[in-house]
């Protein structure tokens, strides 16, 4: 969807770019994490160069699930939030489980958010669904998201199935398309 020149620039939402997801042997290890990380960093650089708003989501939860005291919940070094970039910690899969996030999103006008990052099958899906039900506009960058290894079956088919589900609640676009249209603020 093309945005009006009078619209605010889109907000880049970096979901759960945390060390835990790239650590081999961990329960939440992400498939093709390096590829998704590279795409996320390209988009993060574009947003920072244009001085567009960037938001970082950080998954925290009960110690039995995702120990917030562990160094594994730290940001991936290259994606660490910079001063002036928003950060929100969320205990449940949806970013809307953070009351600060809910307050922020309910106070922006014409908000358009571009979702990238990890936990496609949890944080990104849940946030897109919750946002849809609040009339917030989301777009997901299909090659800048990744999900953990499914218990059984083909990993690529699993990821595509989740992308298809997210497509019911958000616009899907590739990073190349987004970068190509970024000068026109097309989101």
Helix locations, the chain, DSSP H: 33-50, 63-66, 99-106, 125-132, 155-166, 175-181
Which of 90, 91, 87 has its CA nearest to residue 62?
Answer: 91
pLDDT band at 147 (very low <50, low <70, confident <90, very high): confident
Note the pLDDT tens digit of each residue in 22-31: 877 777 777 6
Note the pLDDT tens digit of each residue in 95-126: 999 999 999 999 987 778 999 998 899 999 99
Burial class of residue 187 in the structure, from the number of CB atoms within 10 Å of its CB (0-12 exposed, 13-18 middle, 19+ buried): buried
98 DSSP 8-state letter: S
Instruction: Please tell me whether the overall predicted TM-score, pTM, comes out greater than 0.95 for this model.
Output: no
d(CA 17, CA 2): 28
| Report for 18-22, 100-104, 146-150, 153-157: range of highest mean pLDDT | 100-104
d(CA 32, CA 144): 10
123 DSSP 8-state letter: I
Residue 86 has pLDDT above 70, yes or no: yes
Region 65-79: mean pLDDT is: 71
Q: Can you tell me whether residue 182 is helix, strand or coil?
A: helix
pLDDT band at 1 (very low <50, low <70, confident <90, very high): very low
Burial class of residue 81 in the structure, from the number of CB atoms within 10 Å of its CB (0-12 exposed, 13-18 middle, 19+ buried): middle
Go through the domains of the chain in sequence order and give each one's CATH number.
11-184 (3.40.50.850)
Q: What is the pLDDT of residue 99?
A: 95
């Amino acid at each position: 969807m093309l945005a009006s020149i009078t619209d605010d620039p889109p907000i880049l939402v970096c979901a759960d770019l945390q060390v835990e997801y790239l650590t081999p042997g961990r329960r939440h290890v992400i498939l093709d994490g390096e590829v998704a990380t590279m795409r996320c960093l390209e988009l993060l650089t574009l947003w920072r160069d244009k001085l567009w708003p960037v938001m970082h989501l950080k998954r925290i939860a009960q110690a039995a699930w995702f120990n917030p005291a562990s160094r594994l919940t730290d940001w991936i070094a290259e994606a660490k939030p910079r001063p002036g970039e928003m950060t929100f910690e969320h205990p449940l899969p949806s970013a809307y489980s953070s009351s600060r996030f809910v307050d922020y999103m309910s106070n922006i006008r014409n908000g358009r958010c571009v979702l990238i990052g990890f936990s496609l099958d949890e944080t990104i899906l849940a946030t897109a669904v919750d946002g849809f039900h609040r009339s917030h506009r989301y777009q997901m960058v299909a090659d800048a998201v990744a999900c953990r290894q499914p218990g059984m079956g083909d990993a690529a088919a699993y990821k595509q199935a989740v992308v298809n589900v997210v497509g019911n609640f958000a616009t899907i676009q590739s990073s190349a398309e987004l970068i190509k249209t970024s000068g026109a603020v097309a989101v």
